[in-house]
Structure 1
Amino acid sequence: MQDVSPFQNTHSKLRLIPFTCLVIWIGWIIIQSALLWWFGTSNSNSFQDSIISGTYVGVACYIMANGLIYYLPKKDRYIYISIWGLCLTILALLATRYTIAYFIVGGDYLTAFDHTLPIRFCLIAIIIAWIATIHILWNLQQNQKENEQRKADAERLAREAELYNLRQQLQPHFLFNSLNSIIALIGRQPEEARNMTFQLSDFLRGTLRKDDQQLIPLKDELDHLQLYLEIEKVRFGHRLDTYVQYDKSCQQLLLPAMILQPLVENAIKFGLYDTIGKVTVCIEASYKGYQLEISVTNPFDSTKNAPRKGTGFGLRGVNRRLYLLFGRTDLLQTRITDNVFTSILKIPQS
């Protein structure tokens, strides 16, 4: 542990120190006056003694507390605080002794005062030690909070960077495929190529707008997904059909931006790439048990759809994003039933 200069919450502590010292001063005067009166000291002398000694005790506490605001030694150097507190105790006693000798005339009272020096020393030392302990614990607590906050900030930045990286990895191969399709269309269907270029532009523009948004309404996500589907329909023509169904009550439910595209892309990839017939990709959304549940289904023939090198990142990326956002690994499930592949996405709603 390094030497620390805790400046957080300094202003609030600076306001509390005078108040604390004032309470100590008043309490000292009341208690000591009562004790001296109880042991037969005259009211005048006991009150003067209490004010003088209480003032120096308060000043010693103020010096100790104020110093610990700006400096907290390492654990193996707490002995310095003990020495500091001992010096303040001795100085407070000496100052009290000579001030009383100046204001209170009478050798008998000074003799009685000297007899109480051990008791006074112990009481002052205890009060100063109490003040020091409180401020050390306070500083340690603040340092711990600051360290935890810095750690949380670092983890948040790392998580955001990873989320951004995951989202950026979704785009390149889709962009390349779309550009290749546009190039292929330019010669034989220039108008279709023009429309696809505009659709791709709108899709990428929407992607940029969503880069700063973690969660968006389902309706916005589906509207953006529709641009992607229109581009894919140009690529695959009549072979690709889509079916989207959701309750109107789900429109404003939130989900991570661009979370559906990799699921639909996965469905198109394994539903169309090894077939020549028409394929329907179904997307359904509903609200179940405080969760937005979205299923994406596509035909799947395990005998034809052998794993390809590089495939599978989409689902892994979605799973990783969900874990980073919600801290859970059970929000994406997949299953194959009767040659139908289904991806089920669950998004908790606060």
Structure 2
Amino acid sequence: MSVSLPKRRGAVVMLLVCLALGLVFALALAIMTQVPLLNAVLLVLPATLVYAIGTGFSAFYLCRAYPLHGRPPLTIIGVMTVAALFAGLLWATFLQFSNSVSLLFDVPCLGLPLSQTVLAAFFCLGVLLYCLAVAVHYLLHEFVRARTAEQRELQAQLMAQQAQLRMLRTQIDPHFLFNSLNSISALTTVNPAGAREMTVQLASFFRLSLGLDAHRHITVGQELQLIRHFLAIEQVRFGERLQVEEDIDAAALDCLLPPMLIQPLVENAVKHGVCGMLDGGCITLRIGRAGSLLQITLHNLLEIGQPEQRGNGMGLDNVRQRLASAYGHEASVHWLRETDHFEVSISMPAQTGQTEQG
């Protein structure tokens, strides 16, 4: 229904245009030849409708058979010139034939004394109208071709962006699993009970994360569940050495973000912050909404004099690339390292709605 409706509207518009042209031509003929207007309308209007339908189909198929970018220009000009001359001749002949038949019935309102000059004028007019129809069809074909190419390019960009996001997301789980298994391995000898508890927590964490893996975006509340589950795993390993403070704005809980966006940053804070401090340290997570922006800040303490640790950059690089792919210039991530602390700040659009399937 949605496809046929525009076609019907287009057909109605074309019919109205042809009727208007027919009436204009009939009026011009009546003025030039000093004949009754009714006779001119009855002769010219049907001929104009027949001519418009015939030339419309002819121009459409010729333009498709001889596209501007697929045939030599001289060939296109030659073919269209011959078609225009033939269309003009056909219109003049049809007018003369219709007029001759009308005169046979000797009806006062039918038939006109058409001179060769009038027929020549309609021939030239027919040629011009056909050329105009060809120009319109070429413009429409080029418009459709440009729109199709644009849609294909946008679709290709979207598919490439989604593939990149999937690639970046697949880097997270193996990285986190590798670190967690190393922690479990270290605990097996010194704290077997803790290793068992950590294994159970790890299984629960991946059960939860796999449930969200099919989504391109999840809510901040769902991301916080993952983070708290991860911290529960690390709490088994570090005990009281790991302290966590949260400052979460309730208005930000329903905002959407890519899944497991903050968790790698929390993991980095534990690995490069708490892990390197003899007495442990505190990780502070602040999430708030400021108008149209969602702002996330992660702060962790560092051991004074602790040298900067160069890992594989998985966490920060992954977050930066995922934000760039999902939001472009609308999102940003900055980090700052000082003597006794490290801070990461994220600013991104505050979007709400249902979570999106990936």
Which band: TM-score by shorter chain? 0.7 to 0.9
Look up the match of 1:245. 247
Which residue is equivalent to 2:94? 95
Q: Secondary structure at the match of 1:257?
A: coil
Alignment of 1:52-91 (within 5 A): 52-64=46-58, 66-67=60-61, 73-75=67-69, 76-77=72-73, 78-79=76-77, 80-91=79-90
In 2, are the aligned partners of 1:64 and 1:132 still within 8 Å (CA)?
Answer: no
Say if 1:245 and 1:285, in contact at 8 Å, map to a contact too. Answer: yes
Segment of structure 1 superposing worse, 254-263 or 156-165: 254-263
Greater Cα shift, 159-168 or 34-43? 34-43
- Answer yes or no: is the 8 Å Cα contact 2:87–2:126 preserved in 1: no
Deviation at 1:217, TM superposition (A): 1.9
2:178 is the counterpart of 1:207: no
> Against the structure 1 CA distance between its residues 242 and 18, is the aligned structure 2 distance closer, same or farther, given a 3 Å change threshold?
closer
What is the distance in 2 between the residues matched to 1:10 and 1:294?
46
Q: Structure 1: how far apart are the matches of 2:324 and 2:314? A: 15
* Alignment deviations for residues 194-246 of structure 1 (CA, whole Å, 9 cap, x no partner): 33222212211222222222222211111111111111222333322221221
The residue aligned with 2:43 is 49
> How far off its partner does 1:251 sit?
1.8
Partner of 2:235: 233
Deviations 1:289-334 (A, max 9, x none): 43121111112357433333x4322111111111111112762111
Shift of 1:72: 6.3
Is 1:266 aligned to 2:260, yes or no? Answer: no
**Residue 40 (1) aligns with residue 41 (2):** no
**Offset at residue 43 of structure 1 (A):** 4.8
Identity of counterpart residues, as a percentage?
A: 27
Q: Which runs of 5+ in 2 are unaligned?
A: 352-358
Offset, 1:261: 1.0
Say whether residues 1:30 and 2:30 are aligned partners.
no
Equivalence map 1:308-323=2 (5 Å): 308=310, 310-323=311-324
| Gaps in structure 1 of 5+ consecutive residues | 1-8
Conservation of the 8 A alpha-carbon contact between 1:213 and 1:257: yes
Compute the displacement of 1:66 (Å): 4.7
Where 1:171 maps in the other structure, the secondary structure is helix
Q: Distance in 2 between matches of 1:176 and 1:42?
A: 95
Residue 243 of structure 2 aligns to a residue whose secondary structure is: strand
Q: Distance in 2 between matches of 1:134 and 1:227?
A: 64
**How many aligned positions are there?**
339
| Distance in 2 (alpha carbons) for counterparts of 1:67 and 1:17 | 18
2:276–2:302 Cα contact (<8 Å) kept:
no
Q: CA deviation at 1:58?
A: 2.2
Is the Cα–Cα contact under 8 Å of residues 221 and 257 in structure 1 kept in the other structure? yes
How far, CA to CA, are the matches of 1:135 and 1:62 in structure 2?
A: 9
Cα distance in 2 for partners of 1:81, 1:200 equals 73
CA change 1:261–1:127 in 2 (3 A) is same
Instruction: For residue 337 of structure 2, give the secondary structure of its aligned residue in structure 1.
Output: strand
In 2, the alpha carbon distance for the partners of 1:152 and 1:307 equals: 41
Change (3 A) 1:197 1:87: farther
Query: Does the CA contact (< 8 Å) of 2:88 and 2:125 recur in 1?
Result: no
* TM-score (norm. length: structure 1): 0.85
Match of 1:343 in 2: 344
